[in-house]
Amino acid sequence: MNAPLESYRDYDSFSEAYEIVCTALLVMDGEFYRIEVLRRYSSPNTPFTAHCWLQSKISVPLSSPETEEELEIPQDIQVWTEVVNFPWIDAPTADAALTQALGFLADMRKKG
């Protein structure tokens, strides 16, 4: 039986399909990073890639629903933002993609 995402081309709306097969959380210098290893259904020769995310704290101003005026107390929230300068990964296995991603992330921290 085929996985549902293998037939994503049967739908007119989708140009690509990915499945998250592994998620790794890492801490470096007190910052949290998340690596997601993805199975790419559109590329059978190198079916695995990875994306990297950084957890950041941002302040979001609150507003009153009645007056839409900004309140004095901002709300701090945690968000995940994609590490945009993370190199593209093409790998034949999920483990190989994760290994490449770990190496790239470690190298980025050394250079940064």
Query: Does 67 map to a domain?
Result: yes
Query: Does 60 map to a domain?
Result: yes
Q: How confident is the model at residue 21 (pLDDT cuts 50, 70, 90)?
A: very high
pLDDT digits (tens, 9 = 90+) for 39-93: 999 888 889 999 999 999 988 776 666 666 666 666 788 999 999 888 999 999 9
**Parent domain of 30:** 4-106
- Looking at residue 40, its pLDDT comes to 92
Query: Does 111 map to a domain?
Result: no
Q: How confident is the model at residue 101 (pLDDT cuts 50, 70, 90)?
A: very high
pLDDT above 70 covers what percent of the chain? 86
Sign of the dihedral through C-alpha 29, 53, 42, 10: positive
Query: Does 31 map to a domain?
Result: yes
pTM for the predicted model, two decimal places = 0.80
Query: Does 37 map to a domain?
Result: yes
Retrieve residue 12's tokens.
């007119």
Helices (H) and strands (E) in the chain, counts: 1, 4
Of residues 104 and 63, more confidently modeled: 104
- Looking at residue 27, its pLDDT comes to 96
- Looking at residue 105, its pLDDT comes to 93
- Looking at residue 63, its pLDDT comes to 66
The secondary structure element, H or E, covering residue 111 is helix 94-111
Q: What's the chain's average pLDDT?
A: 87
Q: How many domains, in total, are found in the chain?
A: 1
